[in-house]
Amino acid sequence: MMQSKVLPPCSLRGHVGFPGLKQDTFSNLSLALLIVAALLPPSHAAARGKAKTANPATVGTPLTSELSGQVAARDGGHLRIAMDLGNIVIRTQNSAKVDYHARLETDASQGDARQLLKSFNVYARETADGVTLKGQTLARRSSGRLWVTLEVTVPKNYSLDIATGGGNIETDDINGRVALQTAGGGITAGNIGGSARLETDGGHITVKNVMGELVAETGGGHITAGSVGGNAYLHTSGGHIRVASVQGMAHLETGGGNVTLEHSGADLLAETAGGQIEVGEAAGLVRAKTGGGGIRVVRVSGPTDLRSGGGSIYLTQVDSAVKASTEAGGITAWFVAPAKQPGICELQSSDGDIVVYLPRQLPVTIDAQIQKGDEHRVIFDPAFPLKVSYDESSKGARIVRAEGSLNGGGEVLRLRTVAGNIRVALSDANKQNRIYRQQMDQLDQQLQLQLRKLEQSQPGTDPPQP
């Protein structure tokens, strides 16, 4: 993991006046300067926050300003925040008010430093359904830099609709629904009692448990979540996706990272351009595709379609019809009896071996074939009487076929490889269960460790790698 650079105390996140500089340049800076100041006496709901400006500063020292205020609020309301720039931190309290405190900072050596501080204002007003806060700067063409952090304390039974033009967003546990958006920073959220929509153009997204639907999208960071009570639509252009469980439909997509889901309660669509896909227990349909990594599904109980452009596929407990294909890896599958949703199973590899473990009592019809049989063969346990035959293709290659009906025959198990071996082995139920428990425990431990480490890290910093 890359270490963040140590910057001078004036370097709070969120800035203006740096043409051509990416927002995430400042996304890894420390939040050490967050100051929870004593709030000023209550002001009128529509009044502007009172400002305190630091004493005149010498060249090279930070120049700061603070804005504070409060607005009356009822439990169950809605907080809306729109910021031109800056970090936003949401805390909760058991009181009928919304408190806010903004800290502004700039470099005193800049010619327009004092004017830059005065140009940023926070406006707060009470609305019919809650409270609205707006932070904006008038210094659109300033060449100076301004760092802003807004901390807001709200009743816990509140909903949030927050947007910032550049900075990190952090929230405590919220009982209502949540919508968080930043043009360039990390998002860290606690438990959410409703639905959640989390969007950033370039930072990491971390959220604990979401009772409703979760939509999370980032232009290049990682997405990590606990349990999701509804559907989950998670997309990142290049980071990892890690989720404990999704009760509804799950659509997980990354441009190049790994995808990990411990429990899937309904249909699952997982896709990565080049990473690995790991799924624990899947109750519904599973479709997983990777351009170059491996795929592992511990238990599948619904129709399953797995495709890898260059990795291996491993299935520990197959309870239903499975289609699995890989261009350059092997396939290993353990079948259970009786299958909950029987159907035709097709396992296909271009350059790898195919190994299947079958219970002795499973009724199944084997149809196996090796395209280049001169150097490869079909290996099967004596408990499975298969008939092996050889054919010469028009291109001179020797094709090996193995066919047979076990326990009177049943659903077809079709095995195909171009340049690999095929092995049909007798399953050991105790060993299979032991592997199942080990893999589920491993997934759980990895995810819990990742969540704990992310809780300890600051928003916007690089999370631990797998």
Between CA 176 and CA 77 the distance in angstroms is: 9
Question: And the tokens for 460?
Answer: 């916007």
Residue 60 belongs to a domain: yes
Between CA 69 and CA 34 the distance in angstroms is: 17
pLDDT attached to residue 8: 34
- Is the C-alpha dihedral spanning 92, 95, 96, 100 positive or negative? negative
What three-state secondary structure class fits 310?
Answer: coil
310 and 329 in contact (C-beta within 8 Å)?
A: yes
Q: Which tens digit of pLDDT belongs to each residue from 352-375?
A: 999 999 998 889 999 999 998 778
Q: Which tens digit of pLDDT belongs to each residue from 401-447?
A: 999 998 888 899 999 999 999 999 998 888 888 888 888 888 888 77
Residue 360 belongs to a domain: no
Between CA 109 and CA 135 the distance in angstroms is: 24
Residue 85 belongs to a domain: yes
Rounded to an integer, the average pLDDT of 56-81 is 81
Between CA 13 and CA 22 the distance in angstroms is: 12
Give the DSSP per-residue string, 71-88: EE--TT-EEEEEESS-EE
Contacts of 50 (CB under 8 A, 6+ apart): 40, 43, 67, 68, 69
Please check the confidence at residue 69 and state whether its pLDDT lies above 60.
Answer: yes
Query: HSE (CB half, 13 Å, CA atoms) of 312?
Result: 11
Between CA 149 and CA 24 the distance in angstroms is: 16
CA 426 to chain centre: 38
Query: HSE (CB half, 13 Å, CA atoms) of 435?
Result: 19
> Between vectors from CA 322 to CA 318 and to CA 325, what angle results, nearest 5°?
120
More confident residue, 88 or 18: 88
* Position 87, amino acid: N
Between CA 15 and CA 5 the distance in angstroms is: 17
Burial of 2 (C-beta count, 10 Å sphere; 0-12/13-18/19+): exposed
Residue 353 belongs to a domain: no
156 and 98 in contact (C-beta within 8 Å)?
A: no
pLDDT attached to residue 458: 47
Between CA 296 and CA 306 the distance in angstroms is: 9
Q: In 10 A of CB 41, how many CB atoms?
A: 8
Categorize the per-residue pLDDT at 43 as very low, low, confident or very high, splitting at 50, 70 and 90: very low
pLDDT attached to residue 310: 86
Query: HSE (CB half, 13 Å, CA atoms) of 186?
Result: 28
Give the DSSP per-residue string, 102-113: EEEEEETTSTTH
Bridge partners of residue 250, in order along the sequence: 232, 268
Q: In the 8-state DSSP scheme, what is residue 374?
A: T
13 and 460 in contact (C-beta within 8 Å)?
A: yes
Between CA 394 and CA 132 the distance in angstroms is: 76
Q: Which tens digit of pLDDT belongs to each residue from 140-157?
A: 665 568 889 999 999 989
Please check the confidence at residue 301 and state whether its pLDDT lies above 90.
Answer: no
Q: In 10 A of CB 410, how many CB atoms?
A: 16
Residue 450 belongs to a domain: no
Lowest mean pLDDT: which of 23-37, 302-316, 336-350? 23-37
Number of domains in the chain: 1
Radius of gyration of the chain (CA): 29
Question: And the tokens for 234?
Answer: 């998670």
Contacts of 352 (CB under 8 A, 6+ apart): 312, 326, 328, 329, 330, 331, 417, 420
Task: Say what percent of the chain tops pLDDT 90.
Answer: 53
Please check the confidence at residue 260 and state whether its pLDDT lies above 90.
Answer: yes
302 and 265 in contact (C-beta within 8 Å)?
A: no
Task: Name the residue range of residue 14's domain.
Answer: 1-191
* Position 324, amino acid: A
Strands (E), 120-195: 120-127, 130-137, 146-155, 159-164, 169-171, 178-182, 187-189
135 and 146 in contact (C-beta within 8 Å)?
A: no
Q: Which of 67, 139, 49 is nearest to 104 (CA)?
A: 67
268 and 248 in contact (C-beta within 8 Å)?
A: no
Residue 44 belongs to a domain: yes
pLDDT attached to residue 142: 56
Bridge partners of residue 364, in order along the sequence: 406, 411
pLDDT attached to residue 465: 44
302 and 320 in contact (C-beta within 8 Å)?
A: yes
Please check the confidence at residue 219 and state whether its pLDDT lies above 70.
Answer: yes
Residue 440 belongs to a domain: no
Helix H or strand E encompassing 257: none
74 and 127 in contact (C-beta within 8 Å)?
A: no
Task: Say what percent of the chain tops pLDDT 70.
Answer: 81
pLDDT attached to residue 457: 58
Q: Which of 439, 422, 281, 406 is nearest to 354 (CA)?
A: 422
Please check the confidence at residue 211 and state whether its pLDDT lies above 50.
Answer: yes
pLDDT attached to residue 441: 84
Residue 120 belongs to a domain: yes
